[in-house]
Amino acid sequence: MSKALKGIIKIECKIRVLTGLHIGGSKENVEIGGIDNIVIKVPVLKLDEAIERDVPYIPGSSIKGKMRALLEWVEKPEGSMQVIALENKGEPCNCGRCRVCKLFGAHKNAKTEEPVRLRVEDFYPTEKTIDMWKKFLDGDFVEVKVENTIDRIKGTALHPRHQERVIPFSEFTGFIKIRVHEGDRKELFDTIIRGIQLLEDDYLGGSGSRGYGKVKFIKEKILWTDYRKQPFEEKTVDENEIANIYGA
Amino acid sequence: MLKAYKITYLSPTSPVRSFTIFGAICWSYKLIHGEKKLKEFLSEFKENQKFLISSAFPYVKDKFLFPKPILPIKGDSADFKVKIQRKDYKKARFITLEVLKEVIDGNIRYEEDFVKFKSSSGIIQSENDDLKIEQKRHTQVRNMINRITNASENLFSIESDFKVYDEYFLVYFIDTGFENEFQRLIKLAEEIGFGGKKSIGWGRVEINNLDPEPLKELIDLNADKFITLSPIIPTERINPGESYYDIETFKSYTENTFEEEKLKKKVLYIKEGSVLRKKDTIMSGQLKEVENGIYQYGLEFPIGVKYV
Ligand SMILES: [Zn+2]
């Protein structure tokens, strides 16, 4: 790894949940009669004044994983005509040189000289959202939906499934961080923006085919920290300045 | 000059010890200045230390906690009541500043002497204190999305302990001119994440400055009798016959954020909280080159004491 780091671009985002969101927190049904699908929760969330416990959040790894999977349907590995998803028969790219590998890292420790550029932080609910949950969900943070399969002949419900979900209009905040190394080009930043758009057109979390997980990313601001400067300098930039950062 | 930093944990993390922090600093250095400069920095540091780093310990209700010093036991000569009580004190891992001062002054010289304070939540503290350290079990589910079928594959979960309390670590600048640079390096380390498993979201921390005033007098680089707040890779300057210590062997991976990780050679450490006597007042730990160009941090962070 020889390419020096110039700095880090941080996109401060809000994720607005448009249709109930389910990001699973348990591998199997916990107990018979329990909730089948549990939403992932952070044990402790420190807010300005208070501490809340077992609060739903969106893990950065879920966002990153989904974004990568979607990008692999549009991005091609180095020297290939076919998109990564088809080229690799459903497995993530491991060429170590394409935009996806540069941003997300090559899959399965393939030999690469490229540093990983992307870090997606966990997204936590805003205080306003927590207040909304408390108000609408009787002090709970999630809604429990009972989903039935109807027996077509008898007209009765079979095997009701209990599903926890984060309700629409909930908002989560967090950072998408992109490291800019010497020699990097703005196309890496653009790829992330494209990944965000693809994610908005698809869904996050489980049960997407049943309409869950529609989200919208709202870019609040973009921060640029230049680590070549001493003392380092962090400033707000607009999207037009990104090209200058990459030195296009 | 002494500096204190507070770590707030925003995700699970691997334990933050002096060598974890030093490793993070080195990575930041390499990212900013390049590999060649890092090598120069390390070989210079090996001879002339610019700073010393402690491991991270709990910072609860604005109080600094310290590792429980390893003291000799009276054993059979202790009175019966004290012997029964010993168990709780043996299990404790931390002490408050108030208790530490008693150790420094020699009012507490044996493990049994701790009984004049109370032991609760693994902390030896005064009756009026009510300090607790709380951890929460956290489960993360991991999977891979099959690009073709859109299905989740290889579902598995990872359990971890999520620290509900804050921690602090100390840095003593021998070269005070290095402080600004350190601030920049630590800021970058914070952006990248601390410790292992960063690719699955571990190591999210927030680092803020703390007032080191209450601890200023404690750090004594010239003390020949001291409690260490960082694990030490020992040199022959330590007098083992007159010291009380725990040892551990440690094998770690190199940082894997940017490159394939490598397993480092095993090193022997004297643990935090050991009470040591040096043969002279020269540094008794070392920055050890474990492989060509790969160093392991093992310098002491000494709190001077009157007795060992
Ligand atoms: Zn690739």
Average pLDDT of span A93-107: 88
pLDDT band at residue A15 under the 50/70/90 scheme: very high
Peptide bond into B240 cis (omega under 30): no
Cross-chain Cβ contact B140/A40 below 8 Å: yes
Judged against a pLDDT cut of 50, whether residue A32 lies above it is answered with no
- Give me the pLDDT at residue A146, please: 79
Alpha helix (H) ranges present in B92-198? 97-104, 179-192
Separation between Cα atoms, residue B207 and residue A135, nearest integer Å? 34
Taking CB atoms and an 8 Å cutoff, what residues of chain B touch A225? 187, 191
Which of B27, B29, B31 best tests the A interface by mutation, with the highest count of A CBs <10 A? B31
Residues with CB under 5 A from ligand 1 (ion): A 77, 93, 95, 98, 101
- For the ranges A12-16, A227-231, B216-220, the lowest mean pLDDT is seen at A227-231
Shortest Cα distance, chain A CAs vs residue B178, angstroms: 12
Q: Could you give the percent of chain A with pLDDT greater than 70?
A: 88
Please state the separation of Cα A73 from the chain's center in Å.
Answer: 17
Pairwise pLDDT comparison (B72 vs A158), residue with the higher score: B72
- Give me the pLDDT at residue A9, please: 97
Cross-chain Cβ contact A85/B200 below 8 Å: no
H-helix or E-strand spanning residue A42:
strand A41-46
B145 vs A5, A69, A122: nearest CB: A69
- Kindly identify which residue of chain A lies nearest to residue B163, measuring between CA atoms: A44
Q: Cα(B205) to centroid of ligand 1, in Å?
A: 30
Structure tokens at B182: 């350190």
One-letter amino acid of B193: G
Q: Which residue has the tokens 């010393």?
A: B52
Interaxial angle between packed helices B35-47 and B18-33, expressed in degrees from 0 to 180 and rounded to the nearest 10 = 140
Which of helix, strand or coil describes residue B143? strand
Judged against a pLDDT cut of 50, whether residue B36 lies above it is answered with yes
Cross-chain Cβ contact B201/A105 below 8 Å: no
Q: Note the pLDDT tens digit of each residue in A113-130.
A: 778 899 999 999 999 999
Average pLDDT of span B165-190: 95
Separation between Cα atoms, residue A218 and residue A173, nearest integer Å? 9
Give the DSSP per-residue string, A52-67.
EEEEE-B-HHHHHHHH
Q: What is the C-alpha end-to-end distance of chain A, expressed in Å?
A: 22
H-helix or E-strand spanning residue B175:
none
Separation between Cα atoms, residue B231 and residue B274, nearest integer Å? 9
Judged against a pLDDT cut of 50, whether residue A109 lies above it is answered with yes
CB-CB contact of B187 with B21 (8 Å): no
Q: How many CB pairs (< 8 A) connect A and B? A: 104
- Kindly identify which residue of chain B lies nearest to residue A66, measuring between CA atoms: B145
Say if A43 is an interface residue toward chain B (CB within 8 Å).
yes
Separation between Cα atoms, residue A156 and residue A171, nearest integer Å? 37
Average pLDDT of span B98-107: 97
Q: Cα(A87) to centroid of ligand 1, in Å?
A: 11
pLDDT band at residue B308 under the 50/70/90 scheme: confident
Which of helix, strand or coil describes residue A123? strand
Q: What angle do CA A96, A100, A105 make, to 5 degrees?
A: 50
The number of beta carbons lying within 10 Å of the beta carbon of residue B137 is: 10
State the pTM of this model.
0.87
Structure letter (DSSP) for residue B264: P
> Does the model's ipTM exceed the 0.90 cut?
no
- Give me the pLDDT at residue A30, please: 43
Judged against a pLDDT cut of 70, whether residue B286 lies above it is answered with yes
